[in-house]
Amino acid sequence: MEKAKIKIYKTPVEELPCLFNPGEYKISTSTGYAEKKGTHTDDSSKQHIGGYQSTLSLTLYYDITENMGGLSEQDKKKTSVRDYTSKIEALLLVEGDLHRPPQMEFIWGDLSFKGVLTSLNEDFSYFDMTGKPLRAKLDLTVSAAGKEDAQQKSPPESPDRTKRRLVTEGMSLWKLAWEEYGDCNKWVEIAECNHLMNPLDISPGQILRLPPLEDK
């Protein structure tokens, strides 16, 4: 049976084979609409404000007991299951000059889902005599942006095609760029548009301008 794998887009590109294929996965898709008030009090309509987003949710299992991790007996004595799971944890870490975590792709069968890891829960359930974990269950959520909506244009009646977003708790420029443009690297354009010298220097309640990038 074909093994599921995770491809990590950094230099060089890295592939992480999964020890076990997931029993199931779920893909959720949503788009953003908001009330648009007209000139009359009772006149309102829904307006698309962007933020089209798709998320992949799945559970991965890691087990190095009974040589399930494909280890020799000697290696098994000095190996923790966290040697495997720590590579998944690293997908949440901000990379140096990129100021964002690496993009990843989950590949299995006819599924190829590219995005960024936005949520990770780990459960360790079996340990050796020294307390070293040998089994783990990882619940992952991977977020991807829709390219068509990432390139959408502002309403035709609006001469200003620059969008604005309210900064919320946990928001970062790379995540905002992924949601709006489908490309984490576009955080640079957002930073320049808002005259930010430090991409980490944003706080909840702040309003950020998002430039139109249809020509880029």
With a pLDDT cut of 90, the percent of the chain lying above it is 25
Higher pLDDT, 164 or 81: 81
Task: Judge whether residue 146 has pLDDT over 60.
Answer: no
Task: Judge whether residue 66 has pLDDT over 80.
Answer: no
Q: Distance between CA atoms of 122 and 141, rounded to whole angstroms? A: 12
> So what's the pLDDT on residue 154?
38
> So what's the pLDDT on residue 10?
84
Structure tokens at 84: 């495997």
Q: Are 106 and 4 in contact (CB under 8 A)?
A: yes
pTM above 0.75, yes or no: no
> So what's the pLDDT on residue 183?
80
Q: Are 48 and 32 in contact (CB under 8 A)?
A: yes
Which residue from 108, 149, 116, 112 is spatially nearest to 23, judged by alpha carbons? 108
Which residue from 161, 135, 146 is spatially nearest to 213, judged by alpha carbons? 161
> So what's the pLDDT on residue 79?
79
Q: Are 94 and 101 in contact (CB under 8 A)?
A: yes
pLDDT band at 171 (very low <50, low <70, confident <90, very high): confident
Task: Judge whether residue 34 has pLDDT over 70.
Answer: no
Higher pLDDT, 216 or 73: 73
* Percentages of the chain per state (helix, strand, coil), in multiples of 5: 20, 40, 40
Buried b (16+ CB within 10 A) or exposed e, 84-95: bbeebebbeeee
